Structure 1
Amino acid sequence: MTAEPAANPQPSAQPSPGWRNGAAAVAMLTFAVDGVTPVLAAGRRHADNAMAITHQQFDARRGTPRLLDILDEFGIKATFFVPGISAELWPALVTDMVERGHDVAHHSYSHRPATQLTVAEERIEFERGYEALARLGITPNGYRSPMWAATWNSAGLAVEHGLSYDTSLMDDDRPYVIETDHGPLVELPPHWSLDDWEQYAYLPEPHLGYVIEPPEKALALWTAELDGLREFGGLFQLTAHSFLSGRAGRARNLRRMIEIIYDRGDVTFMTGTQLRDAVLVDPTVERRRLEPLAVDPAVYPTW
């Protein structure tokens, strides 16, 4: 069954043509297929923890297939961020995403935050993750830093390898273009308030989170953000993790969130690549360079 959007009411803001294509807001549904990588990134000793590993393997066994089926119910195309290790462990799952028409994007190799790596290590992580997708015949357009922990080098590294959009920086709620030494990179800003990790993540060892909130709370938070972004003309980028939002009650909650977006009638769905294309042809979109912050060591003497 394919759900059809409700008839369009008057939008809550006067949208302008451009990257929103006349809609009040753009909804971009994104899913991180992290699998075992967050557990192993906390230390390889956790590979001996059968509970923790199987908790993450729910991602491929049940979570991602369930979420893919829900997206099929609505005919929505989403964006899946896949670490290289997940691509190596579950190649059939990742190619299934492509075959269903979804946007598969780069999410490092091992899910270690780039801010904890040297410049050389960040490059190796990036290249190994890119190559893992390439072995499946996938050329990604987008990149998301693990834990959104981008460095000042991350944007240039993405463009150097042919990627054209990123979802790691949080200084806006509308897309913009980063001018790098290697060319432009479309930034699609995310935010923690639209991430299911802060609502659902519970794993005591390794510590990935200590919360299990009711899905209704997450739905209320996300709906408030949706309506705010409709008023101000922004990007509603929902970030879900298949080992979290793929659980049964939470999956039903995600379906309800999609229904709410449709019911608003003035929001359009886009993948990361579709939104990139819309941004690049919009002459009103802001273009800027990333400028590292210079910090006075006399004021902040601690490393």
Structure 2
Amino acid sequence: MSPPPPSPGPSRWPPPYKAALSFTMDNLGEAQDVLNGKWPHPIGTHPAVTSQLPRMLALLDKYQIKATYFAESWSLAVYPDTIRALQDAGHEVAWHGYQHEVWKNLSPEAEQENFDKSWEAARKAGVTYEGFRPPGGSINDGTWGLLREHGVGYVSPLGELGVGKEGVVVLPFEWRGVDAFWYMDKFRGIRKDHGEREEIENPEKELKGWLLGKIREIKQTGGYLSVLFHPFLQTSEGRFAVLEEVLGEIAAEEDIWVATCREVAGWVREHPDLFEAGAGGAIV
């Protein structure tokens, strides 16, 4: 038998928790499709918002889990009732670019314009952004200063947990914790880069197995996990069944602090010494 994993030592998380987890969602409606000229339907009718998201919110309510929704600013005016419903239910609305532009490809001028347009849209919608998840998973060197300038306290890219440049907290996600990694054909190359098969015979089983295993792992290591489900990908009863099983497992974990990204970032910011390199975290 292999030896048990090493103990993580004293917990870095609020007592009595041993690890932390955020349930997140990305992409609100047709923002990206409109940008790319691929939306032939009336604006404001995306089934991910009108059909799939209400089912997801009902499941989150059933398991008493508060989520962070990284939504494109363009969508705030298109789906104002949805934004209000999210906030009224205690979920966090965070930023995902203006129309899901691949962030690492933006010039400094385009970044500034994206911030300006997004903050004006958020002001009109009554939304205050505290966090940002860059579409594509990466940010640019100049992004850090813009985040600080606009009062954004955390960013959720690919990377490592810790306090990054300009004092911005980094709450990373990893590709295998994203439903799109397993469900979408365009992620074949990323799957290959991560040592997975390009063709996934049973993506629902693979996603569920990885997430349930990772939940067990972070309890042992004292880590953090950002779970990411896209409403537009919940297109079958099988996928909703996976979502519900994962939510049920999360809700049953008494040793894991299940909190919005805003709450987790606040804790990391208040306890930076617990998340420095050599303390189980990393400065990014």
TM-score, normalisation: structure 1: 0.78
Aligned residue for 1:80? 69
Deviations 1:232-274 (A, max 9, x none): 1111110111111364332221111122223443212010111
Quick check: 2:11–2:222 contact (8 Å CA) kept in 1? Answer: no
Q: CA deviation at 1:85?
A: 1.7
Contact 1:25–1:234, Cα closer than 8 Å, also in 2: yes
- TM score, norm. by length of structure 2: 0.83
Cα gap change, 1:200/1:162 in structure 2, threshold over 3 Å: closer, same or farther?
Answer: same
Are 2:274 and 1:284 aligned? yes
Contact in 2 for aligned 1:25/1:233 (Cα 8 Å): yes
Compute the displacement of 1:33 (Å).
Answer: 3.0
Match of 1:195 in 2: 178
Aligned length, in residue pairs = 263
Which structure 1 residue ranges, 5 or more long, are not aligned? 1-10, 204-208, 291-303
State yes or no: 1:262 paired with 2:251. yes
- 8 Å CA contact 1:12–1:24 kept in 2: the answer is no
Task: Name the aligned partner's letter for residue 163 of structure 2.
Answer: V
Query: Equivalent of 1:69, from 38, 48, 58?
Result: 58
Q: Report the AA paired with residue 47 of structure 1.
A: W
Fraction of identical pairs, as percent? 24
- 2:19 equivalent among 12, 16, 25: 25
Report deviation, 1:12: 8.6
Would you say 1:143 and 2:132 are equivalent positions? Answer: yes
* Amino acid across the alignment from 2:39: A
Cα distance change of structure 1 residues 104 and 246 upon mapping to structure 2, 3 Å threshold:
farther
Q: In structure 2, do the counterparts of structure 1 residues 98 and 234 end up closer, same or farther at CA, with 3 Å as the change threshold? A: same
Q: What's the counterpart of residue 47 of structure 1?
A: 39
Write out per-residue CA displacement over residues 202-231 of structure 1, whole angstroms, 9 at most, x where no aligned residue.
58xxxxx98784422210011122222222
Q: 1:218 aligns with which of 168, 187, 207?
A: 207
Alignment of 1:71-110 (within 5 A): 71-110=60-99
Matched residue of 2:24: which SS?
strand
Query: Aligned to 1:176, which of 147, 150, 162?
Result: 162
The DSSP-based 3-state class of the residue aligned with 2:257 is strand
CA contact (8 A) 1:64 1:246 kept: no
8 Å contact kept, 2:162–2:283: no
| Matches of 1:77 and 1:272, distance apart in 2 | 10
Provide the residue aligned with 2:194 in structure 1: none
Q: How far, CA to CA, are the matches of 2:60 and 2:111 in structure 1? A: 33
1:68 Cα deviation after fit: 0.8
SS of structure 2 residue aligned to 1:80: strand
Deviations 1:149-183 (CA, angstroms, capped at 9, x unpaired): 3112222211110110110132x2xx311132xxx
Aligned Cα RMSD in Å? 2.7
